[in-house]
Structure 1
Amino acid sequence: MRWKYNVLYMILLLYTFLLFSACSFLDKGDPEILGQEVITLYSEGEFENAYKNYFSNSWKDANTPEEMESEWTDHTSEMGDFIGVNELISKESVNSSYVVEVAVEYTDIIFDVRLIMNKDYKITNLHMDQGIVNAVMPDSIIEEEVKIGEGTEFELMGTLTLPNNSDVSFPVAVIVHGSGPIDRDGTAYSYKAYRDIAWGLAGRGVGVLRYDKRTYVYGGLMHEQGLTSITIREEVIDDALAALDLLKNDSRIDSEQLYLIGHSLGGMLAPKISLEYDNLSGMIMMAGSPRSLWDIIYDQNINILNTGIYDEEEREILREQLELEREKSIVLLEEAKEEKLMNETIFGLPATYMYDLEQYKPSEIVDDLKIPMFVLQGEDDFQVLKEADFNKWQSLLGENELATLKSYPGLNHFFIEYDGLGKGTIEEYDIPNTVDEEVINDISQWILK
């Protein structure tokens, strides 16, 4: 199931903490079967039956069968036809209640339903999210599971997507994630941007390797080992290099045509990864930035404050907190010795991590790269900004013959178009959509040239 950001500092969280632990219910009923039954009743319009037999008294006091029907109908009216339950997971919480998360599949959208059950297996709460576009993999491509860093402490599963043509070898690009614990599809809210890119490029003759990020798979273990031990190398760089190495000996892949696609933080680190890998043919930076991470986070949160989701008093309080955090950041990052930062945080992240990233200057690396570079920016991106970030890339690379830069009107941080309520806020990520076709066309054409 998809993870959600917190409202403040939500963009760049590194670790997830499990609130529930998996449990077998065979000896005391089965919430999964109950969850399946409720969704089936909903899909068949049997709201009175569901209301009477599956919901708690507290729910019944606050809802009617007619309201349940109206909410479900409004939510699913533009999703196509009901197909069934795609995935169902049950967990037990510490207070003896149960959480059942159900992926409900319609022809156009897959969305999550979360059911909270009390110890008597009665539903006390039901929440539906907006869902993800129910895309079908084209027949023109094939996919297979691969393992990144096999034999190491942090093995990662990935997906290799190739054109469905075994007669020729293909160029292949490795996708490097943005910040946070992200899966191989780049799942965020209602988006699967990395899956969209992989399918789109493979359908145009370019293979793609994407993989689950280390903090997504091993976040708990890494937290136990100590947050102050995490640097950009452990979080991103080592696994990106291992992914590139995996492609060297595959006869279907043109080993002389390996590319890197970095998104967000991955775009920021793409020059460093490219400098460390000898056999790279080109580098693509999507919504990357040459600025300091703490400076970007500060701007992101200022933008959130200015969207109108807070009242004036809340904005003032949060603004003061941000300014204090900014001042602290400046002081801490001026410290020359890393050991002085061991117990500090900057914008909620370990100061040692921020210190490590501060030593990395993309602007000083790009001049040393002797490979083609393609820099892409969504002009409606409110996380990485066209004015502050893309324009700086233009000033750095504008005279570089190896660099191509392009910005896209109307596209956000995930290179997805949105123009509706909540535009310019995190709310727009709740509306299912896919990566813009022009972006995928431009990347494939750039690589194939």
Structure 2
Amino acid sequence: MITKFLIFTLIMFFSNIFGQEITGSWQGELDVQGNKLPLIIHIEKDINGYKSNFDSPLQGAKGIPFQKTVFQNNILTLDASNLGIIYTGKFGNDKIDGTFSQSGMTLPLVLIKKKGEETVIDRPQTPKPPYNYDIEEVSFENATDKNILAGTISQPKNFDKNAPILIMITGSGAQNRDEELFGHKPFAVIADDFAKKGIATLRMDDRGTGLSSKGKESDTSENFATDINSAVEFLKGKGYKNIGLIGHSEGGMIAPIVADKNKNVKFLVLLAAPGIPTSDLLQKQSYDIGKSSGASASTLETNKAVNQKIYEFVKNYNGNNLKTDLKPILISEFKKFPKGEIPAEQIETVAEKQASQISNPWFQYFIKFNPGVYLSKIKIPVLAINGSLDLQVSAKENLAGIKKSLEKAGNKNFEVIEFKGLNHLFQTAKTGNPAEYGQIEETISPKVLEKMTAWILQNKF
């Protein structure tokens, strides 16, 4: 699950003092365990004083608005009440020298006036035309939910439709057909590599992105599975006979759902896929990323206990209004965090936002999901891979879970591999912390590309 980490929706406050000095663009870097995350803040005057927005270049975030600005007595305060984020800095000598705090971390952040051109992000693996393979833009209807899906078929010239073609399934959150994140386009890189080696792919825009039509607010992973099932039927209708699925993160959770229902799916490639109940996965994800980001031991333990209580409440809830019933529990639990972690006056606001997010149908389905239910029925060939530095879907626990379920299914043709030194995106990494994703030039390790193509071409599906 490609979760949206460290994209900070800061709420900024300024006054009318020193208007000429404070307006303009300011830039600074957060240093998270040695990982540099640049932020660019744009400030301009409006009828109420000022308005502001920010960019996070390495994360592909641009023009995200701030709600308010306060600048008094040369002190700048940035307050994201809904996320428990506080930044306080002193203005002077053309810079703002301050500290940024979030979830137990306190980091220095110095802002200076921005000069020069925008940051250029180097992504050398992104394919560029002209291509030495065929590309076809396609669209089709999901027969179940009636939404329209748009995508790209990439295939070698003179492609034999008995050869393998894989439908690509993105991770969590609405993503385009390239699974674009932090300037990286991993699905475009994979499709390009596959096509050069004799393998075709279909990659699609998720519901509500690119050229695909919007879904419903109540959509869950089960709905997204019907999109992939419709893609299988679409390719079958075009004469393709050797159809596989390649899913990353949540996409690796969706792939077995589809394979269990549609016998036209001949093989699976699971990239950083869940292999244990997702409530357990999220617990470990939260702990590992928090620890890597410098959260205190007390914060980690408190957060673990709170998450466990909330997840169990959601999994066992039988009432009629989860948001309303969950909010007082969240308020009570948030009060247990170390002093200053969530300011007392902000607890209710944070609880309101969290209750709204948790009560979303997608999250309710996700938190109750056990991938073993589907994996334990999969008998077709499976390649499951993960990186040893994956802090979002831990390699050890989830690969072991996949292996156990496939053995239970009596599957005789599967391979489970942990690649050393790779993160959730299969980049060569130092720590695996999501803050690194945008800083690494590599989109996906060539070792992973080589393994996937060799496995697909060596198998006889």
| Partner of residue 231, structure 2 | 243
Which of 383, 386, 389 matches 2:392? 383
1:231 aligns with 2:226: no
Distance 2:193 2:25 in 1: 46
Partner of 2:189: 196
Contact 1:59 1:124 in 2 (8 A): no
Secondary structure in structure 2 of the residue aligned to 1:187: coil
CA distance in 2, matches of 1:383, 1:167: 38
Indicate whether 1:306 and 2:284 are aligned.
no
Distance in 1 (alpha carbons) for counterparts of 2:55 and 2:367: 40
Asked whether 1:144 is paired with 2:140, we answer no
Distance 2:367 2:120 in 1: 37
Q: What is the alpha-carbon distance in structure 2 between the residues aligned to residue 116 and residue 168 of structure 1?
A: 45
For residues 383-418 of structure 1, the C-alpha deviation after alignment (integer angstroms, 9 at most, x for no partner) is 111222112223333573122212211221112212
Note closer, same or farther for the CA distance 1:131–1:298 as it changes in structure 2 (3 Å cut): farther
Q: 1:357 deviation in Å? A: 3.6
- 2:414 matched to which residue of 1? 403
Aligned AA for 1:58? E
Distance 1:410 1:102 in 2: 26
Partner residue in 2 for 1:417: 428
The answer to whether structure 1 residue 427 and structure 2 residue 415 are counterparts is no
Which residue, out of 252, 258, 264, partners 2:243?
A: 258
State the distance in 2 between where 1:113 and 1:290 align. 31
| 8 Å Cα contact 2:60-2:183 kept in structure 1 | no
Q: Is the CA contact 2:127–2:192 (under 8 Å) kept in the aligned structure 1?
A: no
- Secondary structure, aligned partner of 1:132: coil
Task: Please list every run of 5 or more consecutive structure 1 residues that lacks an aligned counterpart in the other structure.
Answer: 11-15, 17-55, 68-74, 76-91, 104-109, 118-122
Counterparts of 1:265 and 1:326, CA distance in 2: 21
Cα pair 2:162 2:241 within 8 Å, conserved: no
Q: Is the 8 A contact 1:148 1:246 kept in 2?
A: yes
Distance in 2 (CA, whole Å) between partners of 1:333 and 1:161 is: 41
* Shift of residue 219, structure 1, vs aligned partner: 11
Which residue is 2:123 aligned to? 132
In structure 1, the residue matched to 2:322 is 341
Whole-Å separation in 2 of the counterparts to 1:93 and 1:446: 58
Q: SS where residue 282 of structure 1 aligns? A: strand
Q: Distance in 1 between matches of 2:25 and 2:229?
A: 54
> Structure 2 vs 1, CA of residues 167 and 210 (structure 1 numbering), >3 Å: closer, same or farther?
closer
Hey, what's the Cα distance between the residues in 2 that align with 1:270 and 1:393? Answer: 13
Q: By how many angstroms is 1:179 displaced?
A: 0.6
3-state SS of 2:448 partner: helix
Residue 33 of structure 2 is matched in structure 1 by none
Distance 2:364 2:24 in 1: 53
* Pairs within 5 Å for 1:357-376: 357=366, 360-376=369-385
2:127, 2:188 within 8 Å by CA — same for their partners in 1? no
Query: Which ranges of 4 or more aligned residues in structure 1 deviate by more than 4 Å?
Result: 59-63, 92-103, 110-117, 123-127, 150-153, 166-169, 217-222, 342-347
Change (3 A) 1:113 1:350: closer
Gapped runs of 5+ residues in structure 2?
A: 10-18, 29-35, 37-43, 66-112, 327-353
Measure, in 1, the Cα distance between the counterparts of 2:288 and 2:64.
34
Provide the identity percentage. Answer: 21
Distance 1:269 1:102 in 2: 30
For residues 112-123 of structure 1, the aligned pairs below 5 Å read none
Deviation, 1:265, is: 0.8
Q: Which string of whole-angstrom CA distances, capped at 9 and with x for unpartnered residues, describes residues 71-109 of structure 1?
A: xxxx9xxxxxxxxxxxxxxxx999897989999xxxxxx
SS in 1 for 2:403: helix
Q: Is 2:16 the counterpart of 1:7?
A: no
CA deviations over 1:242-295 (Å, ceiling 9, x no partner):
2212212325xxx22000111101112221110111211111111111222232
Task: Give the TM-score, by structure 2 length.
Answer: 0.64
Distance 1:157 1:324, change over 3 A: same
Q: How does 1:8-87 map to 2 (within 5 A)?
A: 57-58=20-21
What is the one-letter code of the residue matched to 2:429? Y
- Counterpart secondary structure, 1:413: coil
Cα distance in 1 between the residues matched to 2:361 and 2:392: 23
Looking at structure 2, the residues matched to 323 and 129 of structure 1 have their Cα atoms a distance apart, in angstroms, of 42
Match of 2:255 in 1: 270
- Could you tell me how far apart the structure 1 residues matched to 2:142 and 2:46 are? 35
Amino acid at match of 2:21: S
Q: What are the residue-to-residue correspondences of 1:105-116 with 2, within 5 Å?
A: none
> CA offsets, 1:306-341, max 9 Å, x none?
11444x4xx644652442232121123123x37453
Larger CA deviation: 168-177 vs 239-248: 168-177
Residues 404, 318 of structure 1: CA spacing in aligned structure 2 closer, same or farther, 3 A cutoff? closer
CA change 1:403–1:217 in 2 (3 A) is same
Count residues in correspondence: 351
Q: Is the Cα contact below 8 Å between 1:4 and 1:189 reproduced in 2? A: no
* Cα distance in 1 for residues equivalent to 2:3 and 2:414: 35
CA distance in 2, matches of 1:62, 1:342: 39
Distance 1:360 1:111 in 2: 29
> Which residue is equivalent to 1:332?
314
- Once the two structures are superposed, residues 153-185 of structure 1 have per-residue CA deviations (whole angstroms, 9 ceiling, x without a partner) of 532321111112357653210011111121111
Distance 1:113 1:397 in 2: 39
Structure-1 residue corresponding to 2:154: 161
